[in-house]
Structure 1
């Protein structure tokens, strides 16, 4: 396993160094291309079922990224730096209000060329999607072809982290024939990645075959058979019994019964948090939000639920992000806790990450002891997401990789905690939070943005709209016959060109 990380790269592109490097049993970010050129098919078990028929504009985009189907102009390396993907180089123009991307020679899986016109069209479709991809929260993107191999991407206002945004799986590029009516995108045979999606079996399975004209080199596996298994115990059993080669998000309760050589942990900026509904119901009252916060002991969650594979929540940015260490700003000015006096609340969470239900049970006990009446609602994520975003519950326990959308610590604030945010589970709309997020968004240079992000974090925590519970390590199960599987702290990749069995 690789044990060293590249140094931070100075300049406009943020590089939030993680304490755990992007690694695998023999593969790094660029994939290990050594070994035999021909491998068998890989069997992969993913934790979340598709909710939007593999549309690239929501959570399903991660499936397309993890399985090596789709890619954008850039990608993130181990340190969170934007590095080339479909674009081989880029430079900022007009004081950062636009960027010129030079494309590499590549093909779509329908055997057409990747051209500047096709890329500009793909980005234009993404910018017009409703709801907008989380990576574009607060940013209005335009794209225009410049000749055959360059694309100019404008943002209206200066956006120093645009190359990071364009690494987001929701901004992947597909061939012109993928785009249909009313914003529909068909990813079958229209992407550019190392594997071509050839068959979708509802929300239970997908079949992928090697794309022989992939610009990044020939994949060593001949294809991938993916299954979507929401139950964590079932995923672990599939690995134990040899029914799958790679299983993501192994529950900590299953680790002790597994072959230790199949268990791989990765430090990530993933948090588990309790989001309190600030728009309707009990937690519109800041005093009751403060009472909930006061009642929760996060050390119990880290120790008892995650069995040491987590640390107690200390903020939005956990210890895996080394730049955040020692920089947390005290969240003063919180409301005074008031007596819950038996107020009844419902906490929702999802079963795809089995520890979340256990976390919810611990919270139920702690909040009941403080005087709340607490009911729990646990569903598969595919059946829960819409109701979560619509504010149908008083509170939600959710896991979120805080660097997933862009690798930029500021962008996540805009999407998750501002009035116009597209993944705002707390339905928070606070003028001080919006101001702090906007000020951070306007800055360039990693150090300045990081410091501003910490100030915005304090403004968010001051509202008690979100209560950080734990900072997680992610456990991936990888069969001992598998070589080159990717352990990505940003949770965007599992398979590379060198992954094989």
Structure 2
């Protein structure tokens, strides 16, 4: 079993650590659901707006925005009990539920507007902040009604407002124990974070004298992938969240995992971002050669996961409303011919600009996290690029890397999110100001057909710039026992804690 393999590869001290965790907890031992999140505590319980995936789960349990995501990734009411959208799509009007801030003061339109504006200011300079650029004004209207006015249509505004980073917190409130969300948090000495549901009245819901029959407490542990998998196998936890390709090889993916291993079919970016416009990577044609040399099906097949989508596009294929204007690259070309062309481009560049020992391959570095899955990925990519005369090795740090692996789930399924991740002001790697201008022009178009056409042109321009080498969609996995309700695989790979603590009645 996978636990025996994982424990066998751990040092004795680590095994003792797992034993202590197992001894100190037990799934179903006290009517709680036990959850392990892969990560580290500093990131999961971090304050601020640059949240890790685990941090998003922790934040969304204790703090709410106007709206939130449910278990299936659908937008549902939170602090706003209902809303309407005007016909032109330029005004979203929210009716707030009755409630109070953590200090006991009433949640009003004025205080909610101030909290939302504060959260948006904190996001300045981030990709999420750029996604919110359509917001022109937030207005406090009568009583508990606020209006968000847009400078141009933003079809995914609700998905943006549901992001945990946009949870509403009054000025100066940095408490992690409980805010406007559905649950409270108590940190225990053994490293467990216990989440408990608030009464219905504190959640803006009608009185229900039997409400406790439908919920249970949730104990959250933050640990690494090996320990989380071991705890799941031993029955110490009911759910493991936050799995990526980097730790997938630690999980049993055969028939024994049926019903417990859950894979999210996501949209997002998974590939190599070029950081340096220098040396071999200074040439757009060479960068294109590297992209055409990769057999993406071979990369994916080694992980034995069905349904994982490969792509040569910087925008995930199959997005809702995709007009089909952008095709996959090099369709119909066999990989041997593509690699021959790539090798010729690499050799031609070296003869002109790097005429040293041409018997040795050119060297490029890639930064990616540590983990058995990432090791397999690097070995496979290195083997493929070696065929075209490039030696790909792991970079010691992000700053020293020629390329960086990007593994990021989309916040909303629209081309603008994908293209926005490469915006020049973010300074994440090579970029195209021309693409930025094209995207800015596209988002102001009220006609969705024209907007989609302009976005397709922007994607084509970014593709020609060859600043990103796509491989596929991000892979996310979880382990879930059958007794746990409230878990649904979804395109955002976001599995909020409150539904996991609900008991079917």
Give the TM-score band, short-chain normalised: 0.7 to 0.9
Tell me if the contact between 1:80 and 1:407 (Cα under 8 Å) persists in the aligned partners: no
Classify 1:447/1:71 alpha carbon distance in 2 versus 1 (closer, same or farther; 3 Å).
farther
Tell me if the contact between 2:438 and 2:454 (Cα under 8 Å) persists in the aligned partners: yes
Of the structure 1 ranges 103-112 and 117-126, higher mean CA displacement relative to structure 2 is found in 103-112
Q: For 1:68, what is the secondary structure of its paired residue?
A: helix
Could you list the runs of 5+ residues in structure 1 that have no partner in the other structure?
A: 1-38, 179-185, 379-386
Q: Which residue of 2 aligns with 1:256?
A: 253
Q: Which residue of 2 aligns with 1:173?
A: 168
Q: For 2:95, what is the secondary structure of its paired residue?
A: strand
Report whether the alignment pairs 1:356 with 2:358. Answer: no
Alignment deviations for residues 134-180 of structure 1 (CA, whole Å, 9 cap, x no partner): 322161744342233122334555545433321222111123441xx
Alignment deviations for residues 440-490 of structure 1 (CA, whole Å, 9 cap, x no partner): 322346555444433322222221111111235533211233223243321
Tell me if the contact between 1:428 and 1:465 (Cα under 8 Å) persists in the aligned partners: yes
Report whether the alignment pairs 1:85 with 2:109. Answer: no
Distance in 2 separating the partners of 1:187 and 1:446 = 42
Classify 1:450/1:223 alpha carbon distance in 2 versus 1 (closer, same or farther; 3 Å).
farther
Q: TM-score, normalised by structure 2?
A: 0.74
Distance in 2 separating the partners of 1:410 and 1:197 = 36
Q: Which residue of 2 aligns with 1:215?
A: 204
Number of matched residues?
436
Alignment of 1:153-192 (within 5 A): 153-156=148-151, 159-178=154-173, 186-192=174-180
Out of 377, 392, 400, the residue aligned to residue 374 of structure 1 is 392
Q: For 1:248, what is the secondary structure of its paired residue?
A: strand
Distance in 2 separating the partners of 1:171 and 1:211 = 21
Q: Which residue of 2 aligns with 1:245?
A: 238
Alignment deviations for residues 46-100 of structure 1 (CA, whole Å, 9 cap, x no partner): 2233438523511247634466333311235799765433223334579655543
Alignment deviations for residues 178-230 of structure 1 (CA, whole Å, 9 cap, x no partner): 1xxxxxxx24134322222333889x764423222223685744332222234
Alignment of 1:102-501 (within 5 A): 102-109=95-102, 111-129=104-122, 131-137=124-130, 139=133, 141=135, 142-156=137-151, 159-178=154-173, 186-199=174-187, 206-212=193-199, 213-215=202-204, 220-231=214-225, 233-250=226-243, 251-253=247-249, 254-256=251-253, 258-279=256-277, 282-319=280-317, 321=319, 323-324=321-322, 326-329=324-327, 337-339=345-347, 341=350, 342-351=361-370, 355-377=373-395, 388=398, 391-402=399-410, 404=411, 406-414=412-420, 416-421=421-426, 425=428, 427-444=429-446, 448-472=450-474, 474-497=476-499, 499-500=501-502
Distance in 1 separating the partners of 2:422 and 2:194 = 37
Q: TM-score, normalised by structure 1?
A: 0.75
Distance in 2 separating the partners of 1:76 and 1:445 = 28
**Higher Rg:** 2
Quote how far apart the aligned CAs of 1:262 are.
Answer: 1.5
Q: For 2:272, what is the secondary structure of its paired residue?
A: strand
Tell me if the contact between 1:329 and 1:458 (Cα under 8 Å) persists in the aligned partners: no
Q: Which residue of 2 aligns with 1:18?
A: none
Alignment deviations for residues 90-144 of structure 1 (CA, whole Å, 9 cap, x no partner): 3457965554322122344554433222221222222222654432216174434
Distance in 2 separating the partners of 1:52 and 1:235 = 15
Distance in 2 separating the partners of 1:486 and 1:259 = 17
Distance in 2 separating the partners of 1:338 and 1:420 = 30
Tell me if the contact between 2:197 and 2:217 (Cα under 8 Å) persists in the aligned partners: yes
Out of 51, 65, 69, the residue aligned to residue 43 of structure 2 is 51
Q: For 1:410, what is the secondary structure of its paired residue?
A: helix
Distance in 2 separating the partners of 1:78 and 1:228 = 20
Distance in 1 separating the partners of 2:280 and 2:51 = 29
Of the structure 1 ranges 462-471 and 486-495, higher mean CA displacement relative to structure 2 is found in 486-495
Classify 1:359/1:330 alpha carbon distance in 2 versus 1 (closer, same or farther; 3 Å).
closer
Could you list the runs of 5+ residues in structure 2 that have no partner in the other structure?
A: 1-29, 331-340, 351-360
Classify 1:119/1:358 alpha carbon distance in 2 versus 1 (closer, same or farther; 3 Å).
farther
Q: For 1:490, what is the secondary structure of its paired residue?
A: coil
